[in-house]
Amino acid sequence: MKLDHPRAHRSACLKITLILLLVWFVVSCCGGIFFRDWLDANMPSIGSAPFGFWIAQQGSIISFVLILIVYAVLMNRLDNKHGYTEEN
Amino acid sequence: MTQGLLNGIFIGLTFAIYITIAIRSRAGSTKEYYTAGGGVSPIANGMATAADWMSAATFISMAGTVAISGYDASRFLMGWTGGFVLLTVLMVPYLRKFNKATVPDFVGDRYYSRVARGVAVICAIFICMTYIMGQMRGVGVVFSQLFGIGVPAGVLTGAAIVFFYAGLGGMKGITYTQVAQYCVMAFAYTIPAIFIAMAMTGNVIPQLGLIGNYTVGGESVPFLQKLNNINTELGFQEYTSGKMSTINMFCITAALMCGTAGLPHVIVRFFTVKNVKSVRKSACWTLGFIAVIYLTAPTIGAFSRVNLIEKLHNTSYAEAPDWFKAFENTGQMAWVDKNGDGAIQYFGAGKSDMGTNSVFQGKGPTYPAYDAPENQRIGSQGQRLLANKADDSNPNELYFGNDIMVMANPYMAGLPMWVIALLMAGCIAAALSTAAGLLLVLSTSISHDLMKKIVNPKLTDKEEVKYARMASFAALVVAAYFGINPPSAFIAKTVAFAFGLAASSFFPTLLMGIFSKRVNREGGIAGMFCGIAFTSGYIVYFQFLGGTTDQLLFGITPEGIGFVGMLINFAVAFSVSAFTSPPPKHVQEMVENIHIPTGAGEAETHDFEI
């Protein structure tokens, strides 16, 4: 195993983590809490629900699941690229 | 066939399933006892974690909380699901690689200190205790509902069953039982929601019904608009807008999220799968399974609120539905006829100058003794009278606990009896699965981390198990006491404290332990100590010592203070570490090593010294 492998893997891993956490923060805290009044007023309603309200009670949860799926796919791909493949 | 008999059949059937599974997959070794042998499939672990995670509080009172507070309750919905993102990307893959049986194990080794391990054990016990109190309350509510007994008797019955049950399986037994319990819970939660969505909005999918139209009686108005109108008419906050301050809302959500990521009983669940890759996969399944219930909760909340108001508001007591009287008997609902018109009125704080809508004085309903004269117990309309004095500053006459919404829901909607029986079985599954998981962590914290690793390293397997049993018994006794006398009115609130404590102790400590090579023993201990001291001090002050709302720090309620405690933990840990020497070389290497995703399986075989 080459010496820079763990380091390259680690920094790529950190990048994935931080980007996904940014998405997570924007959706839940910004969309559901900080800017929800603005979103309610300025975004199209989801069905009959105001946009910010819908994000807070439904949309955020759906996006959390999507974030985890993306994380698992990206990390597994990264592990394979750096040769950290493990049989399931 | 009566409802009671049908409930009995459903619960008996599910119990038979759980016990069969628990016996068939009971732990054969201490390794299986602590982590189920490390070979659980990601999807099974996902279901088990979801069941472990979704407590009686979630199951019974979350929809009620949403119904009462509308948008404001989003803090629970987002907090308890969003935390899984943190847990998955920051915690469990690394802790799984580290590969030890318990969370204090990691803290003890990473901070190379017995004191750190000790503080972690105390934190774990504290968190699990706070959390399990809420569970016991939940169990009590279910049993009181089930057998028509008071909540205290229900709590005691529940505690006895949980003790018997948790002693059986160990982690392996618990895991496979929880898989079955998740299935029961998921059906029990979604089926009533589907029925009600169909009845109220003509939509089979509750989530679409919520954003669709209200169609009862030929009307067709947007459902949420209908709900907003009802709310404002009766003097409540508009359903889709909140009255909580943004900063408080954010702090509570953040505390719940970080707390979720630091809950020891959730973290250890991920020690049961094979390797790091499976941990990630399992986390996806877990959150997917949890989302099924969390996406349904707000729909149940909204539907049942409309239902409750339509069925009870301005209805004369004589014509009130039977279920109302049944809940009166268990003390979960009450009616005080303030204006003497014989009809039930339900109003919000907007209808009073004092800004409250409390029905009576005092926190919960109290009743005259059973041998009191009849005219003190039964009112002119046949209603159950309270011992509390009426609160005449507002016109609201209807009292009900948050936990009633899910339980009363099928009755309100007139659903078939088997749905109600299924719901009962689901509630019990929720309470049992979480209580079992918590008891396991509690007892292993004491037997493994405290007795074996700190007090007496020469402890044999047999003695360790003995201590584990004693610990679970003691824990249950304390939990039952607080279940009968809850320190806070609602289940969800009691549980929220556990999250505050987890957010201020484990989350930052584990995070720094995983991602920093510089944070050392002194910093870790000081941070943990300050975080938890601040948070618990704040909570105790406002819950028990009569702190008033104008004394709140930035208007943050005790539920959200864990977030501030977490920041304090980080700040203290980093500054103390900066002035003391860095951790020894082997600890730094250990931190390097947990970031390499392979090899989690091999380490296990020789690291398990228990």
Does the pLDDT value for residue B183 go beyond 50? yes
Smallest Cα distance from B459 to chain A, Å: 35
Chain A residues within 8 A of B40 when measuring between CB atoms: none
Mean predicted confidence (pLDDT) in A9-17: 86
Residue A30 touches chain B, beta carbons under 8 Å: no
Does the pLDDT value for residue A28 go beyond 80? yes
Does the pLDDT value for residue B255 go beyond 50? yes
Q: What residues contact A71, with CB distance under 8 A and at least 6 apart? A: A16, A17, A20, B88, B89, B280
Q: What is the pLDDT of residues B149-176, one digit of tens each?
A: 777 888 887 787 777 666 666 777 788 8
Does the pLDDT value for residue B332 go beyond 70? yes
Q: For residue B27, what pLDDT is reported?
A: 62
Residues 55-84 of B with CB under 8 A from A: 66, 71, 74, 77-78, 81-82, 84
Chain A residues within 8 A of B280 when measuring between CB atoms: 68, 71-72, 75-76
Residue B603 touches chain A, beta carbons under 8 Å: no
- What are the CA-CA distances from residue B549 to residues B255, B536, B558 (Å)? 19, 17, 10
CB-nearest to B275 from A13, A48, A86 is A86
User: What is this structure's pTM?
Assistant: 0.86
CB-nearest to B277 from A10, A68, A76 is A76
Backbone angles phi, psi at B222, to 5 degrees: -55, 130
3-state secondary structure A9-58: HHHHHHHHHHHHHHHHHHHHHHHHHHCHHHHHHHCCCECCECHHHHHHHH
Q: How many structural domains is chain A composed of?
A: 1
Residue A18 lies in a domain: yes
Backbone angles phi, psi at B378, to 5 degrees: -120, 130
How, if at all, do strands B333-335 and B398-400 pair? antiparallel
DSSP assignment of B488-530: SSSHHHHHHHHHHHHHHTHHHHHHHHHH-SS--HHHHHHHHHH
- For B593, the enclosing helix (H) or strand (E) is helix B585-594
Mean predicted confidence (pLDDT) in B107-133: 83
Does the pLDDT value for residue B218 go beyond 80? no
* SS3 (DSSP) at B315: strand
Do you know the residue count of chain B?
Answer: 610
Q: For residue B406, what pLDDT is reported?
A: 77
Q: For residue A34, what pLDDT is reported?
A: 81
Does the pLDDT value for residue B572 go beyond 90? yes
Q: For residue A65, what pLDDT is reported?
A: 92
**C-alpha B152: how far from chain center:** 19
CA diameter of chain B: 79
Which of A68, A42, A72 lies closest to A55 in space, CA to CA?
A42
Does the pLDDT value for residue B272 go beyond 60? yes
Does the pLDDT value for residue B308 go beyond 90? no
Q: For residue A66, what pLDDT is reported?
A: 93
d(CA B124, CA B267): 12
- For B343, the enclosing helix (H) or strand (E) is strand B343-344
Q: Quick one: pLDDT band at residue B601, thresholds 50, 70, 90?
A: low
Q: For residue B92, what pLDDT is reported?
A: 87
Residue A24 lies in a domain: yes
Q: What is the pLDDT of residues B4-43, one digit of tens each?
A: 788 888 888 888 888 788 777 766 666 666 666 667 888 8
Mean predicted confidence (pLDDT) in B578-584: 84
Do you know the residue count of chain A?
Answer: 88
- For A59, the enclosing helix (H) or strand (E) is none
Looking at the structure, give the CATH architecture of the domain made up of residues B3-291+417-607.
Up-down Bundle (1.20)
- For B398, the enclosing helix (H) or strand (E) is strand B398-400
Mean predicted confidence (pLDDT) in B417-439: 83
Q: For residue B30, what pLDDT is reported?
A: 65
Q: Please name the residue of chain A whose CA is at the shortest distance from the CA of residue B515.
A: A14
Across the interface, do B224 and A49 touch by the CB < 8 Å criterion? yes
Across the interface, do B71 and A10 touch by the CB < 8 Å criterion? no
Q: Which one has a higher pLDDT value, B293 or B445?
A: B293
d(CA B308, CA B311): 5
Backbone angles phi, psi at B380, to 5 degrees: -65, -30
Chain B residues within 8 A of A76 when measuring between CB atoms: 277, 280
Q: Which domain holds residue A72?
A: 13-81
Instruction: Please say whether the dihedral angle defined by the alpha carbons of residues B308, B313, B317 and B318, taken in this order, is positive or negative.
Output: negative
Backbone angles phi, psi at B431, to 5 degrees: -65, -45
Q: For residue A64, what pLDDT is reported?
A: 92
Average pLDDT of chain B, as a whole number: 80
Q: For residue A63, what pLDDT is reported?
A: 92
Residue A74 touches chain B, beta carbons under 8 Å: no
Q: What is the pLDDT of residues A46-87, one digit of tens each?
A: 777 788 888 888 889 999 999 999 999 998 888 888 777 765
Residue A38 lies in a domain: yes
Does the pLDDT value for residue B289 go beyond 90? yes
What ipTM does this complex have? 0.90
Q: How many helices (H) and strands (E) does chain B have?
A: 26, 6
Residue A70 lies in a domain: yes
Mean predicted confidence (pLDDT) in B116-128: 84
Q: Quick one: pLDDT band at residue B491, thresholds 50, 70, 90?
A: low
Two tokens at B62? 């979350």
Mean predicted confidence (pLDDT) in B426-434: 82
Residue A58 lies in a domain: yes
The answer to whether B451 touches B464, Cβ cutoff 8 Å, is yes
The ranges assigned to domains in chain B are: 3-291+417-607, 309-412
Q: Quick one: pLDDT band at residue B604, thresholds 50, 70, 90?
A: very low
Start-to-end CA span in chain B (Å): 52
- Could you give the percent of chain B with pLDDT greater than 70? 90
DSSP assignment of B244-290: S-HHHHHHHHHHHHHHHHT-HHHHGGGGGBSSHHHHHHHHHHHHHHH
d(CA B34, CA B445): 11
Give the DSSP letter of residue B239. Answer: T
Q: Quick one: pLDDT band at residue A8, thresholds 50, 70, 90?
A: confident
Give the DSSP letter of residue B388. Answer: S
Residue identified by tokens 């610990």 is: B471
Mean predicted confidence (pLDDT) in B369-377: 77
Selected for mutation to probe chain B from A17, A61, A80 (highest B CB count within 10 Å) is: A61
Residue B254 touches chain A, beta carbons under 8 Å: yes
Residue A63 lies in a domain: yes
DSSP assignment of B158-188: HHHHHHHHHHHHHHHHHHHHHHHHHHHHHHH
Across the interface, do B88 and A32 touch by the CB < 8 Å criterion? no
d(CA B323, CA B331): 12
Q: For residue B569, what pLDDT is reported?
A: 92
Selected for mutation to probe chain A from B237, B258, B284 (highest A CB count within 10 Å) is: B284
d(CA B62, CA B404): 10
CB-nearest to A49 from B211, B241, B284 is B211
d(CA B419, CA B459): 50
Across the interface, do A64 and B81 touch by the CB < 8 Å criterion? yes
Q: For residue B290, what pLDDT is reported?
A: 92
* SS3 (DSSP) at B399: strand
